[in-house]
Structure 1
Amino acid sequence: MPHPATAVQETAGGIAPHLRRLLEFVEPDRDDVCLDVARGRGPMPAALGPRVRHMTAVDAAPAPAEPSRGGRMSTVEFGTGPVRITGPSTDPDRPPATATREDPRPRPADPAVQADATALPYRSDTFSLVTARFSLYTLGEPEQVLRELLRVCRPGGRLIIADLVRGNLAGPERDRIERLRDPDHPGTPSIARLTEMITSAGGSIRRLDVFTVERPVEPWLAGARDDASADMIREALTDEVDGGPRTGAKPRVIGGELWFTQSWAHVAVVPI
């Protein structure tokens, strides 16, 4: 059952609380050889790099589509980050480069490798730690992606999945506003569905952390396909606050701002 909601707000520098929680769940080791597979350039390589022996990042984002006339231009992938993304120097989801005991200078992140998440360019059993944060359902057919992530993970290593989920008894209403924001949204899996896919792909679940996160609406709506869709979502959430139909997002007003709730899951998996 999900833990009580954690409020996620903008963070001026350092590591955002939700990312710190994920790093604690990952339990990186100084001897780890790590692979992060993401849609675009996520925060994990910079966060994990100083904590592991070697860090490899794969950008498995599909080729961007041409912006449609009259719509918004393509924006940075927002994923589930809690704040507005205005540029690489102000992304609070990305920690600053960290000095190590071996080298007092900050360690820059290596450029990401462009690759297909269902056909990674690495031998089997290469990495002791593989991570995929909020990308499993956007990089291809999820079962194929899972099998590939497990293939490159060493025996005795671990795969860490971080993604959106919904409760096993929750209805699909929540996906309606997700698809208003992003017509290509694949749908939010139930916890049971996510764990079933992992075991079917050849993984054994060792740890599971499911919790709810409360976040402001406006930074999330920055990634909406157009202004009309964003307005429809605001209206639906505001109506629910005023006693209207439920959206599944549990909106409320905090300090004059509209906030909503998501459920996130961290899953630690070992290949079998």
Structure 2
Amino acid sequence: MPHPATAIQGTGGAIAPHLRRLLEFVEPDRDDVCLDVSRGHGPMPAALGPQVRHLTAVDAMPAPADPAPGTSRRMATVEFGTGPVRITDGDSPPPTTRSGHATRGAATTREDPRPRTLDPDRPTIKADATALPYRDNTFSLVTARFSLYNLGDPDHVLRELLRVCRPGGRVIIADLVRGNLAAPDRDRIERLRDPDHPGTPSIARLTEMITSAGGSIRRLDVFTVERPVEPWLAGACDDVTAERIRTALVDEVDGGPKTGAKPRIIGGELWFTQSWAHVAAEPIP
């Protein structure tokens, strides 16, 4: 049975253990020139920035409609100086839309609720993740956390992340997955909650996508995460749907049909399980 763990102090404030796990997997270096691509403002830039030489944060917009013939969707190049984890709802993955210790196992944490802010001298760039405004081989470290399926076609996004990464650099993808032997029925409640949910890839599918995009897999960390149900259900399309999901999960706890979410009662609250993966890839020259 996993036991709760408190957030631990790190550079720039308290960092929850599941984010610390990702930072240890990333293995940031003081000489790294880093690009973080996300939808909205995630915690990675604030946590990673103090540990690298330079960090650029991209708040990626959904891919626009196809450009007119003869025009490029890529924005002008941006110039810059080169100077089961158990979580509460403080840092859950964003809703999906169409538009160092790599150990396996479960862990637990209570998320630090305090907001983290970026250095005001490090502005966030608005850009299309399928057409990043950077030259080839610009960054030694590229990160995308819970963003791959929110930023446009994931194959195009992966190609862009690998394109802007230097030879010998690394691209770190952190996202939801399902086990290779897990039934795709696990996505039934995800699609019930969000009809536009694109489906959770298997671990094999995620790594296959990365290699097909031109990356070589270097390291992999797969682990289970337990989350409280109610904050997650707050993102359901309506209250009736949320109640249907809640009922299905409670029924499973009581011995009813399995949903694949492995729900259980913790401290009087209903929790469920997801699988997360950290993948480190290197662009193939």
TM-score, structure 1 normalization: 0.81
Contact 2:90 2:113 in 1 (8 A): no
Alignment partner of 1:219 is 2:219: no
Q: Which secondary structure state, in structure 1, belongs to the residue aligned with residue 15 of structure 2?
A: coil
Contact 1:162 1:266 in 2 (8 A): yes
Contact 2:223 2:276 in 1 (8 A): yes
Identity %: 78
The equivalent of 1:271 in structure 2 is 283
How far has the Cα of 1:222 moved from its partner? 2.1
Q: Give the superposed CA RMSD.
A: 2.5
* Deviation by residue 1:51-110 (Cα, 9 ceiling, x = unmatched): 1111101111339xxxxxxxxxxxxxxxx974157xxxxx8377756xxxxxxxx94573
Contact 2:87 2:227 in 1 (8 A): no
Match of 1:258 among 250, 263, 270: 270
Aligned length: 239
* Deviation by residue 1:180-228 (Cα, 9 ceiling, x = unmatched): 2222111000011011111111100000000111121112222222222
Letter paired with 1:202: G
The equivalent of 2:59 in structure 1 is 59
Letter paired with 1:193: R
How far has the Cα of 1:34 moved from its partner? 0.4
- Measure, in 2, the Cα distance between the counterparts of 1:8 and 1:95: 21
Q: Which secondary structure state, in structure 1, belongs to the residue aligned with residue 128 of structure 2?
A: coil
The equivalent of 1:243 in structure 2 is 255
Letter paired with 1:245: P
TM-score, structure 2 normalization: 0.78
- Measure, in 2, the Cα distance between the counterparts of 1:264 and 1:82: 15
How far has the Cα of 1:30 moved from its partner? 0.7
> Which residues of structure 1 form unaligned runs of 5+?
64-79, 86-90, 98-105
1:203-218 pair list within 5 angstroms = 203-218=215-230
Letter paired with 1:161: I
Contact 1:47 1:94 in 2 (8 A): no
The equivalent of 2:104 in structure 1 is none
Match of 1:92 among 91, 108, 112: 112
Q: Which secondary structure state, in structure 2, belongs to the residue aligned with residue 47 of structure 1?
A: helix
How far has the Cα of 1:8 moved from its partner? 7.2
* Deviation by residue 1:142-200 (Cα, 9 ceiling, x = unmatched): 11110000000001100000000101111111111111222211100001101111111
The equivalent of 1:111 in structure 2 is 123
Contact 1:36 1:44 in 2 (8 A): yes
**CA separation of 1:94 and 1:35: change in aligned 2, threshold 3 A:** farther
Contact 1:205 1:270 in 2 (8 A): yes
> Which residues of structure 2 form unaligned runs of 5+?
64-85, 92-110
Contact 1:34 1:129 in 2 (8 A): yes
